[in-house]
Chain A
């Protein structure tokens, strides 16, 4: 079992819909959680981070964390074709080293 699991997708959603991306992790000692967006051929870009249980909102993005269930998700509201990318979940344990998931490819179609 990988330490950080993501469905590889592709997840296809129509423009204007809510895209829901999910991630589970195995280490209960994990302390902080990050979502990166990576366009094809580009480097990952940090878009959200969350430390506490509950929701954190930033514009069209909402990160949700449930430590009891070891589950973190990213919601993208009003999805746009420009949101089409691979979304990487990353988890930071006490070692300060991020563990990345394999990423979920999101496709937003007009």
Chain B
């Protein structure tokens, strides 16, 4: 059973609204990641963090921002949602070291109308 939690599970919101997608993990993992995935398409890394106060942009340019004030918490914020932000957002975490894979949360499916 995954110990990484994402809320909300589904979100429908109007254009221009500010939103925060929550991600928390109870495994003590140092590393956390945000991916964006459209239906039937590949995963795109948009942000990652290797520890508290450490955040980096991923391979896919995104208008979102992230913060990592606590080890267990890695929220993603969109200041002004647009229809092009409609997608599934997946949070993941891992231990330090190349031997470890990622544990994914259940995802947030965002629809901007």
Contact = CB atoms under 8 A, between A and B. Distances in A.
Interface of A: 31-32, 34, 36, 41-46, 49, 51, 88, 90, 92-94, 96-98, 100-103
A98 B42 CA distance: 13
Nearest to A91: B98
A102 to B, nearest CB: 4
A44 B50 CA distance: 21
B104 A34 contact: no
A32 B43 contact: no
Contacts of A44: 43, 90, 102, 104
B31 A43 contact: no
Contacts, number: 50
Interface string B20-43: 000000000001000000010011
Please report whether the interface of chain B is mostly helix, strand, loop or mixed according to DSSP.
loop
Contacts of B86: none
A92 B103 contact: no
Interface residues of B, number: 20
26 contacts: A31-B99, A34-B101, A36-B101, A41-B39, A42-B106, A43-B105, A43-B107, A44-B90, A44-B104, A45-B104, A49-B99, A49-B101, A92-B98, A92-B101, A93-B98, A94-B98, A96-B94, A96-B96, A96-B98, A97-B48, A98-B101, A98-B102, A100-B43, A101-B42, A102-B42, A103-B42
B99 A51 contact: yes
B104 A32 contact: no
Contacts of B94: 96, 98
Contacts of B97: 96
A43 B104 contact: yes
Given A32-B99, A44-B104, 8 more contacts: A32-B98, A42-B106, A43-B106, A44-B102, A88-B43, A96-B96, A97-B45, A98-B102
